[in-house]
Amino acid sequence: MWLWALLLGLPLLWRWLSRLRLRPLSPNPFATDGQKPLAPLVTDTEARKKVLKQAFSTSRVPERLDAVVIGSGFGGLAAAAVLAKAGKRVLVLEQHTKAGGSCHTFRHDGLEFDTGIHYVGRMEKGSLGRFILDQLTEGQLDWASMASPFDVVVLEGSGGPRKYPMYSGEKAYVQGLKEKFPQEEAAIDKYMELVKAVGRGASHVVILKMLPLLVVRFLSRCGLLTRFSPFLRVATQSLAEVLRQLPASPELQAVLSYIYPTYGVPPNHASFSMHALLVHHYLHGGFYPRGGSSEIAFHTVPVIRRAGGNVLTRAPVHSVLLDSAGKACGVSVKKGQELVNVFAPVVISDAGLFNTYERLLPERARNLPGVRAQLSPLRHSITMFSVFVGLRGSHKELGLEATNYYVYFNTNMDEAMESYLRTAREEAPAKIPFFFIASSSAKDPMWEERFPAHSTVVMLFPTLYEWFEEWQKEPSGKRASDYEALKTSFTDASLAALMKLHPQLEGKVDSISAGSPLTCQFYLASPHGECYGIDHDLARLRPDVLASLRAQSPIPNLYLTGQDVFTCGLMGALQGALLCSSRILQRNLYRDLMQLQARLYAATAPDHHK
């Protein structure tokens, strides 16, 4: 409780500091409820293009900007939307042809595929995460609850596949595990106690990033951080270590570790705190936005534009501009063969730490001690290969469910991953350690209305950027035949796994499209084609590193947002945006949001005294 009291008291400290600097606090962006009645789904292609695909031109750059944001992933859009709600005029610049980052969707052979948002937890009405998103999208995101079980773990073996369903709701989730492992009920109970304690402590990371670094270092030296925070206490313990200590059998360890692909680090190198955060996030099941994941960006962009800002695509930022004092003062945008300077007193980067510091900063700023110190313990996260499958028939006709499948071929997940990554690329397709297999067409209640008699499946599995790096300089869509042959070998291995899991899909495939790390690099501008930003390994989850990865960069007036500030995923990017805009506005936006939620709840709660 002392940590929450400290968090809620931060506005007093900021108010005092702002008085010293003669700077008033910014307006509260959450002073009033921003939700509106839910409008019908917009399916008109031209109407959606006007929101998501407005190309950069100097005539579309608003005058007197308050801030410019690099990148339109949700971390960038959410930060811009918060500032817009505070009356700020913000320009968001996106290098791709469509806004949204990993929230964007694409069409292939007439069907729509999602790219990064496959499901989200904690979107039930009344949850804080749902409330925050409703405020930033004016209540226009409608979330469909996935069927239970929402995930199924498949362990392939010589005796055939063994399936372990993960049910929605804590009671059903635990009961499902105990039915499969009746001899290990005590280990399961102990695991769930740890997960809940650590998951509830995620707010401690927010506090860690909002406190002055000097205070964090003092608390760390006194041992107070790990003493009072379960999250920070086990942040440097590996998932594998905690599971062995339960103790759990190898098979139970594998099942309890199943969700690690959602953050990309296998058990030996994964922080138990990061793992527990994800498990806790999905305890009440999964949710999917009605109309597809592009709805997230589609309903955030208008909030930015109504405040006088804009979101422009085809606007690759070449560099961050610094003034003579070394302060960020704008960005340089590549327009054809020319560079166009866009000036603003605040620059926000949603491009990730490695991109921002190693590519976008001028040479004189890249080697500043503060910049090098932030990057030194970090590394690029793992890359993923994606396979997009179009199918004839509705999801009901094809027997597809809104359930995600995690298929593993070895209960020793670390051994399988290490062996795979040591393999020559030509042999790698035969040693893929796991597949994530999901169908957005089965999750989206509006799919049948938009794409009748057709379905989709997406498959994800790990890969190495180095296997594809030699073709990096060749233009997308025109790479050499040996690159296409390598992609095809991975795609064929994926289809074989899909047909083994869902044999009823034989003969129903209409189209196949695949994305390598170079595809991700092209569309997301990620340096090594990574989808999780900086790696979520044990080094990143150290309390001192967590504290250092904050919204205020070592460059004055340059701020960071998105998943590298907090953690990966939609909600991680959202927390990064709230931390960023809290810093810029000099407000504790968490406190503002909780106060608004409490007022609205009090206004709508039934009067029990009548």
Same domain, 333 and 438: no
Cβ–Cβ < 8 Å for 81, 72 = no
Same domain, 442 and 342: no
Same domain, 186 and 161: no
Of 53, 55, 63, nearest in space to 342 by CA: 63
- Map residue 385 onto helix, strand or coil: strand
Same domain, 396 and 418: yes
Say which residue the tokens 């859009």 belong to. Answer: 77
Residues 455-508 have pLDDT tens digits of 999 999 999 999 999 999 999 889 999 999 999 999 999 999 999 999 999 999
In a domain, 594, yes or no: yes
Instruction: Report the C-alpha gap between 274 and 448 in whole angstroms.
Output: 36
In a domain, 400, yes or no: yes
Same domain, 507 and 440: yes
* pLDDT value of residue 607: 55
What six digits make up the tokens of 452? 């009748």
In a domain, 3, yes or no: no
In a domain, 22, yes or no: no
Backbone angles phi, psi at 25, to 5 degrees: -65, 150
Pick from 481, 516, 531: which residue ends a domain? 531
Cβ–Cβ < 8 Å for 575, 566 = yes
- CATH code (residue 354): 3.50.50.60
* pLDDT value of residue 286: 98
Q: What is the dihedral of CA 541, 435, 467, 96, to 10 degrees?
A: -80
Cβ–Cβ < 8 Å for 262, 571 = no
Element (H, E) at 607: none
In a domain, 129, yes or no: no
In a domain, 549, yes or no: no
Of 233, 244, 238, nearest in space to 260 by CA: 238
* Boundaries of domain holding 192: 171-279
Phi and psi based region of residue 412 (left: phi greater than 0; alpha: psi -120 to 50; beta: remaining): beta
Same domain, 161 and 181: no
Pick from 279, 304, 326: which residue ends a domain? 279
Query: What's the gap between Cα 151 and its chain centre?
Result: 18
Same domain, 498 and 580: no
Of 351, 378, 380, nearest in space to 544 by CA: 378
| 338-343/454-463 β-pairing | unpaired
| 111-114/105-108 β-pairing | antiparallel
pTM, two decimal places: 0.94
Same domain, 436 and 362: no
Cβ–Cβ < 8 Å for 263, 274 = yes
Give bridge partners of residue 154 from the DSSP assignment.
163, 407
Domain count, the chain: 3
Same domain, 183 and 162: no
* pLDDT value of residue 361: 97
Cβ–Cβ < 8 Å for 534, 353 = yes
pLDDT under 70 in the chain at which residues?
A: 1-24, 606-610
Same domain, 397 and 355: no
CA distances from 528 to 472, 524, 531 (A): 10, 10, 9
* pLDDT value of residue 139: 97
Same domain, 397 and 488: yes
> Per-residue DSSP letters for 430-453?
GG--EEEEE-HHHH-TTHHHHSTT
What six digits make up the tokens of 402? 């809104």
Of 505, 496, 493, nearest in space to 462 by CA: 493
* pLDDT value of residue 25: 74
In a domain, 115, yes or no: no
What six digits make up the tokens of 241? 């270590």
- CATH code (residue 511): 3.30.9
- Map residue 349 onto helix, strand or coil: strand
In a domain, 222, yes or no: yes
Same domain, 581 and 596: yes
